[in-house]
Structure 1
Amino acid sequence: MHILKKGLVILFGSILLSIGINFFLVPFELLDGGIIGVGLIIKYLTGMKPGLAIIFLSIPIFALAWFYNKSYFYNSLFGMLFSSFVIDLLSFSRGYIQLQIPPVVSSVFGGIFVGLGIGIMLRYETSTGGTDLLAQFLSKIFKINVGIMIFIIDALVICLGGLLISKESFFLSSLTITVVALFTSLCTWNDERTKLKTS
């Protein structure tokens, strides 16, 4: 039953994440942070599928997880693989579903969907891997909320994207990662407070 519940969480979180990326971020060449953001930069510059890029980029971090804490490795491997698959799967539907909204609104809604997807998976001790996985390590070391740690890592990726894509992409993507951090924190806040009280 535990495995079934985690599988449903990964499915639901991956769908939310993929909707945010494919329908709100990609149409305006906006970025999320972390490995997903780097995967999107690669997509915009080369045309490579972002999910496939995320898998390749996640290999070094999963290698670290294998040696550092195998539970993180096992809890996140399926989440990373499945979410990457769903991201590329839903990309085909962009040709049929196009939302006519301003870029700034799209950046906010993209952040909401991505933040909820990541936050829900983190709350049930799984994730998409990548820097979400790295942020979990660092948040435990520095006792910082995982959403805030993700925000710090994401900011570095957004700066890189601003240099390689455009200034407009930088400013709108900065708004996106702020919203992602907020909704990720909302999903994990009470859970982290409970863990601190019991530790």
Structure 2
Amino acid sequence: MLILKKGMAIIVGSSLLSLGLNGFLVPYQLLDGGIIGTALILHYYFNFQTGLCIILLSIPLFIYAWFHERIYFYNSLHGLLLSSLMIDWLAPLETQFTVPILPSSIIGGFLIGIGIGLMLRYETSTGGTDLLAQFISKWLSLNIGIVILIVDGFVVVVGYNVLGLQSFLYSSLTICVVGLMTSLIATKRSI
């Protein structure tokens, strides 16, 4: 039964994450943080596939997990592959919504945070920064949502130099919503 719940968490979480990114962040060139944000920067400037970039950028963390935290490797691999595939598959959504930038940044953060939090609740993730946050959270006994917020904030600050002030401000709002929703969803007990 736990495997079924974990599988559903990966499917629903990946879908929400992909919808949040493609439907609400990409139309305004907003960033999530971490590896997803880095992949979005590569998408905006070089038109690389976001999901593929997430996989490639996550390889060093998965190598580390393989040698040091193998349970995280196994628990995150499915989430990484499915969420990356869904992100690229749902890329056409970037032209389907006409929501203004402020609600778009909030809705996008809300969907992404719920998707990530749902996967983390069932001890899986999208890999990337979520995997790094799991390591840090375990080592320092910190709430994983707070760790994700700090790491994501770093990427958005770097994105300021690349995308400008407006994107920086709305992306900062987005990662705050992502961090809040991730904390709320991930820390609840599994049903």
What is the TM-score of this pair, normalised by structure 2?
0.96
Please report how far the alpha carbon of residue 2 of structure 1 lies from its aligned counterpart in structure 2 after TM superposition.
2.9
Please report how far the alpha carbon of residue 41 of structure 1 lies from its aligned counterpart in structure 2 after TM superposition.
0.6
Q: Deviations over 1:82-113 (max 9, x none)?
A: 00000000112434x2x222111100000000
* Aligned position for 2:45: 45
Please report how far the alpha carbon of residue 167 of structure 1 lies from its aligned counterpart in structure 2 after TM superposition.
1.2
Counterpart Cα distance in 2 of 1:92 and 1:154: 25
Query: What is the root-mean-square deviation of aligned Cα atoms in Å?
Result: 1.2
SS in 1 for 2:17: helix
* Aligned position for 1:175: 173
Counterpart Cα distance in 2 of 1:11 and 1:188: 16
Counterpart Cα distance in 1 of 2:157 and 2:122: 30
* Aligned position for 1:104: 102
Alpha carbons of 1:84 and 1:111: their partners in 2 closer, same or farther (altered >3 Å)? same
Matched, 1:126 2:115: no
Counterpart Cα distance in 1 of 2:12 and 2:188: 20
**What runs of 5+ residues in structure 1 fail to find an aligned partner?**
193-199
Counterpart Cα distance in 1 of 2:127 and 2:35: 9
Give the partner amino acid of 2:79: G
Q: Deviations over 1:49-87 (max 9, x none)?
A: 100100000000000111111110000001001000000
Counterpart of 1:154 (choices 152, 164, 167) is 152
* Aligned position for 1:91: 91
SS in 1 for 2:82: helix
Alignment of 1:176-195 (within 5 A): 176-191=174-189
* Aligned position for 1:195: none
Report the structure number with the largest CA radius of gyration. Answer: 1
Matched, 1:19 2:5: no
* Aligned position for 1:36: 36
Please report how far the alpha carbon of residue 141 of structure 1 lies from its aligned counterpart in structure 2 after TM superposition.
1.3
* Aligned position for 1:145: 143
SS in 1 for 2:142: coil
Give the partner amino acid of 1:36: I
* Aligned position for 2:65: 65
Counterpart Cα distance in 2 of 1:85 and 1:190: 27
Counterpart Cα distance in 2 of 1:93 and 1:103: 15
Counterpart Cα distance in 1 of 2:41 and 2:171: 12
Asked if the contact 2:76–2:127 (Cα under 8 Å) also holds between the matched residues in 1, the reply is yes
* Aligned position for 1:56: 56
Alpha carbons of 1:189 and 1:7: their partners in 2 closer, same or farther (altered >3 Å)? closer
Give the partner amino acid of 1:44: Y
Q: Percent identity over the alignment?
A: 54
**What runs of 5+ residues in structure 2 fail to find an aligned partner?**
none
